[in-house]
Amino acid sequence: MKKRMIFLLALPLAPVVILITLYDIGPGISIVENPSSWGSFGSFFGGVLGPLLAYFSLIGVGFTLSEQSRSNKISDKSRKDSLELSLQVENMKSARLKDTQMYDDQNQAFNLALKEFDFINEAGNSAFQSISQNHILGAENDRFLWQLDSFSSVFSSITILIYCKKKLEVLMGYKEKVIAQMKLYKHNLEVKSIQKTLHYNNCVETIAELNRLIKKFEGL
């Protein structure tokens, strides 16, 4: 491309240089008898050379415009590629942030579920102790039932946030333990109800509530 530009610039200048050289040193021979003929020749040559130079100038302008247009296209493509790359980077950042948020939400939900299972287990043990040792069906029993009912209402919402299969399996294992704990507690209440050894005996209502909660947990 540079060679073409140099050639286009040198082509119209070459005749001018040749004419100046001939005028300065002379041809060395008498081409015409009347030197004034050189003036006429110069006028003729100038008349021809002027349009020729204008023509080459137009070629140069066209070439410049063509190069500018090509440069603009390259620049536009570079800007477009840069914009697409920026969008891809932003999308990757957004996806990474989304994945991080989902991971954090999952861990929080999983840890919350584990704590709730611990609370249920603790409340269940207290209720067992209350009816076995103290023979009282009272506050510990109510707390155990409340803890079961409260957690069963939010358990499904918690598991929705957990996409890790192993974590879900852990929670389902804990759920089965809770169901087994409720069934064992209900069996003890049924025995105590027959023996009529409990104070504040409302075993019938408690057993009915446990049956409802067992079915609710089994459906989760």
What pLDDT score does 57 carry? 73
What pLDDT score does 36 carry? 57
Q: Which residue has the tokens 């399996």?
A: 169
Instruction: Pull the structure tokens for residue 134.
Output: 């103290």
Q: Taking Cα atoms as reference points, which of 101, 199, 117 lies closest to residue 152?
A: 117
Instruction: Pull the structure tokens for residue 174.
Output: 């804990």
Query: For the CA atoms of 115, 121, 123, 129, what is the dihedral angle to 10 degrees?
Result: -150
| Rounded CA separation 186/79 (Å) | 72
CB-neighbour burial class of residue 53 (10 A; exposed 0-12, middle 13-18, buried 19+): middle
Cβ–Cβ under 8 Å, residues 133 and 197: no
| Rounded CA separation 96/103 (Å) | 10
pTM for the model? 0.59
Q: From the first residue on, what is the mean pLDDT of each consecutive set of 10 residues in the chain (220 residues)? A: 64 65 56 55 60 70 75 76 70 70 89 93 93 88 93 89 90 94 93 83 88 92
| Rounded CA separation 7/1 (Å) | 10
